[in-house]
Amino acid sequence: MSKAFSRKDLKHQDEFLTGATHLAQWFIQRRKSIGLILLIVIAAVSVLLGMRSYRLRQEQDAAAMLAVALRIYNSPVVPETEGSIAVAEADEHGTGGHTHYPSLETKLEASVAALEPIVQEHPARPSGRMAAFYLGNALANLGQSDAAIAALEQAAKSSAPMLEAMARLRLGHLYVDLERYEYAVAAFRPLTENPPEGFPVEEALASKARAHEAAGDPQSAMLAYQRIVEDHPTSIYATVARTHAQELAASLGVDLDIES
């Protein structure tokens, strides 16, 4: 038995059809502008996806270049005067992608040649920041201090907390070697105040303390050593730090409140 429709049902049906007709007419009248908006949205999404794909390919290229550069950086140094046995061992190691070098200087120069293009072509990418860290190390060991500082400062801009911290630590040590102690303290400070998880903060504290001592600031050095003893009592630095803190306290004529 079929269901009878009331006037109310018919009225609702008419209202629905009327509304649908108006909506269809609205789309027809505005089809050009709606189509243009859809094209803009599709184009924007395509551009975003294309940029993402491009960045991914660029990082993959940088990572591949970095892998090659690090094989050079980690290659063995085998002086030619050590004879054929040592060279044979190095050649055997070289089958894994390494080449032996007759001196540390030649290896570092080869490393710089391999790392510099990565830093120049991919300065802000993760592999570029990592390459800058190793480039800074190589340049520092070659005595090219200004270039090393620039590379390490670039590495310190990394979004990876541990890489940033290691770059700052190496930069601080380089400043100490250059007797630029104020710069060294500034490099170590973030590592002692807000270190990333897993970072050996006691090493940064010890380096900072030595920089303070060299700069003629025994009180700041004493406080840095004292913090190692109090916050990192089981550290390998603790025993030496306690001795230095006590010696500095005695020279300053102050009582040092740390456990013996």
CATH number of the domain bearing residue 152 = 1.25.40
Q: Are residues 76 and 143 in the same domain?
A: yes
pLDDT in tens, 37-68: 555 555 556 556 565 665 667 778 889 999 99
In a domain, 134, yes or no: yes
User: Environment class of residue 115 by beta-carbon count within 10 Å: exposed (0-12), middle (13-18) or buried (19+)?
Assistant: buried
pLDDT in tens, 130-147: 999 999 999 999 999 999
Average pLDDT, stretch 250-257? 84
Number of domains composing the chain: 2
In a domain, 100, yes or no: yes
Write out the residue range of the structural domain in which residue 258 sits.
184-260
Half-sphere exposure of 89 toward its Cβ, with a 13 Å CA cutoff? 9
Average pLDDT, stretch 188-201? 94
In a domain, 155, yes or no: yes
Q: Are residues 69 and 150 in the same domain?
A: yes
**According to the model, what pLDDT value does residue 255 have?**
80
Q: Are residues 112 and 65 in the same domain?
A: yes
In a domain, 36, yes or no: no
Two structure tokens written together for 6: 């009331």
How far, in Å, CA of 167 to CA of 86, rounded?
Answer: 34
Share of the chain above pLDDT 90, in %: 60
Q: Are residues 189 and 134 in the same domain?
A: no
In a domain, 35, yes or no: no
Domain boundary among 105, 126, 159: 159
pLDDT in tens, 102-117: 999 999 999 999 999 9
Q: Are residues 153 and 60 in the same domain?
A: yes
Which residue type sits at 88?
A
CB 222 within 8 A of CB 246: no
**Mean pLDDT of the chain, nearest integer:** 81
**According to the model, what pLDDT value does residue 99 have?**
73
In a domain, 167, yes or no: no
pLDDT of 90 higher than 60 = no
Half-sphere exposure of 147 toward its Cβ, with a 13 Å CA cutoff? 14
Least confident of 87-101, 115-129, 138-152: 87-101
CB 222 within 8 A of CB 248: yes
In a domain, 42, yes or no: no
